[in-house]
Amino acid sequence: MRRSRSAKKAWRSMEKYVYHEFMQEPDSMALDLARRLADAVATGHRDEAVRLTRELEAQLTETGRNQHPAGHLPSFAAPPTVVPVTKRPRSTRSSRRAITEALAEIGVPCRARVLADYVHARSGERIDTRAFAAVRRDERQAWIKSSARPVFIVPALEGRFFQPVRGLLSLSDWPLERRLIGPWSERADHLAATVQLARQLAWLSARDTTAGERLAPVVAEMARSIPGAVDGQEVDTARVGTAAEAEHAALAQRDEPWRREAAARAREQLSPEQQLWGASIGIVAEGSR
Amino acid sequence: MVRRRTPPDPAVEAALARVRGRAPQMRPNVRRLAAFAGVHSCPTAAVAFAARIDTDRLLAGTTAEMPFGQSPFAIGRGIAFEALLRKHGHAELRRVLSDGLGVDFSLAAIENLREGYQPNRHGLLVRASVTRGRMAEIVSNPDEPVVLDGAVLRADVGGLPAFFEADEMAIGVNGEIIVGENKSWPVVDGRPTDEELLGAALDQAATYILLGRRTLEQSGIDPARISSKAVLVTPRNTGLAPVLHRQEVGSRIRRVDRLLRGVPNVNDIAASVPPSATFDRIADASLAEEARLDAFGEVTEELGRVYEPAACLTSCGLAWACRRCVFAFGGPALAGGHIAHALPGVVTLVRVAQLGRGAPPSPAEAPTAAPIARAGRLYDEVLPPGQPAQQRPA
* Residues contacting A14, CB < 8 A, separation 6+: A34, A35, A37, A38
The three-state secondary structure class of B168 is strand
Using alpha carbons, list the distances in angstroms from residue B154 to A173, B1, B207: 40, 20, 11
Q: Output the pLDDT for position A282.
A: 62
| A243 assigned to some structural domain | yes
Chain A residues with beta carbon closer than 8 angstroms to that of B137? none
Same domain (yes/no): A259, A184: yes
Q: CA-CA distance, A222 to A233, in Å (whole number)?
A: 14
Q: Output the pLDDT for position A72.
A: 57
- Reading phi first (left if > 0) and then psi (alpha if -120 to 50, else beta), residue B136 is in alpha
Same domain (yes/no): A113, A245: yes
Q: Which domain holds residue A51?
A: 5-62
Residue B169: φ, ψ to 5°: -130, 115
Q: State if pTM tops 0.90.
A: no
Interface test with A, best of B93, B114, B115 (most A CBs within 10 A): B115
From the number of C-beta atoms within 10 Å of its C-beta (0-12, 13-18, 19+), residue B113 rates as: buried
Stretch A259-278: mean pLDDT: 94
pLDDT in tens, A120-131: 998 888 888 888
Work out the minimum CA distance from A282 to partner chain B, whole angstroms: 8
Q: CA-CA distance, B165 to A282, in Å (whole number)?
A: 21
Chain A contacts to B (CB-CB under 8 A): 157-158, 160-161, 163-168, 181-184, 186-191, 222, 224-226, 247, 250-251, 254, 280-283, 285-289
Q: Is A281 in Cβ contact with B5 (below 8 Å)?
A: no
Same domain (yes/no): A200, A244: yes
Q: Is A289 in Cβ contact with B122 (below 8 Å)?
A: no
Domain count, chain A: 2
Same domain (yes/no): A99, A240: yes
Work out the minimum CA distance from A91 to partner chain B, whole angstroms: 30
- Closest-CA residue of chain A to B113: A158
- Closest-CA residue of chain A to B145: A183
Same domain (yes/no): A40, A118: no
Interface test with B, best of A157, A187, A226 (most B CBs within 10 A): A187
From the number of C-beta atoms within 10 Å of its C-beta (0-12, 13-18, 19+), residue B187 rates as: middle
- Closest-CA residue of chain A to B109: A183
Q: What's the residue count for chain A? A: 289
Same domain (yes/no): A116, A223: yes
Residue A23 has pLDDT above 70, yes or no: no
| A74 assigned to some structural domain | no
Same domain (yes/no): A168, A261: yes
Q: Is A287 in Cβ contact with B110 (below 8 Å)?
A: no
Q: CA neighbours within 13 Å on the CB side: how many for B333?
A: 20
| A82 assigned to some structural domain | no
Same domain (yes/no): A265, A129: yes
Nearest to B122 among A182, A283, A289 (CB): A283
Q: Output the pLDDT for position A288.
A: 43
Q: CA neighbours within 13 Å on the CB side: how many for A43?
A: 12
pLDDT in tens, A88-103: 666 667 889 999 999 9
Residue B231: φ, ψ to 5°: -110, 135
For residue B162, give the nearest of B127, B124, B205, B129 by alpha carbon: B124
How many residue pairs from chains A and B have C-beta atoms closer than 8 A?
A: 88
Alpha-carbon torsion (B236, B241, B242, B243), positive or negative: negative
Q: CA-CA distance, B110 to B150, in Å (whole number)?
A: 10
Q: Is A250 in Cβ contact with B89 (below 8 Å)?
A: no
| A208 assigned to some structural domain | yes
DSSP calls for A207-265: H-HHHHHHHHHHHHHHHTTSTTS-BTTB--HHHHHHHHHHHHHHHHHHHHHHHHHHHHH
Q: Can you state the angle between helices A46-62 and A28-43, rounded to 10 degrees?
A: 160
Q: Output the pLDDT for position A277.
A: 92
- Closest-CA residue of chain B to A190: B88
Same domain (yes/no): A100, A220: yes
| A286 assigned to some structural domain | no
Chain A residues with beta carbon closer than 8 angstroms to that of B217? none
Chain B contacts to A (CB-CB under 8 A): 2-5, 87-92, 94-95, 106-107, 109-112, 115-118, 122, 125-126, 129-130, 146, 154-156, 161, 215, 218
| DSSP conformational letter for B239 | S
* Residues contacting B321, CB < 8 A, separation 6+: B59, B62, B64, B293, B296, B300
Q: Which residues of chain B have pLDDT under 70?
A: 1-8, 69-70, 139-140, 142, 385-394
Q: Is A283 in Cβ contact with B115 (below 8 Å)?
A: no
Q: Is A187 in Cβ contact with B90 (below 8 Å)?
A: yes
The CB-based long-range contact list for B156-159 (8 Å cut-off, 24+ gap) reads B156/A289, B157/B28, B157/B33, B157/B260, B157/B263, B158/B49, B158/B50, B158/B263, B158/B264, B158/B265, B158/B266, B158/B269, B159/B265, B159/B266, B159/B267
- Closest-CA residue of chain A to B147: A183
Chain B residues with beta carbon closer than 8 angstroms to that of A167? 115
| DSSP conformational letter for B230 | E
Work out the minimum CA distance from A189 to partner chain B, whole angstroms: 8
Same domain (yes/no): A100, A18: no
| A119 assigned to some structural domain | yes
The three-state secondary structure class of B192 is strand
The three-state secondary structure class of B234 is strand
- In b/e form, how buried is each residue of B299-329, taking b as 16+ CB within 10 angstroms? bbebbebbbbbebbeebbbbbbbbbebbeee
Pair B312, B40: CB distance under 8 Å: no
Nearest to A184 among B4, B109, B156 (CB): B109
User: What ipTM score was computed for the predicted complex, to two decimals?
Assistant: 0.70
Q: Indicate the Cα dihedral angle A20, A23, A26, A31, nearest 10°.
A: -80
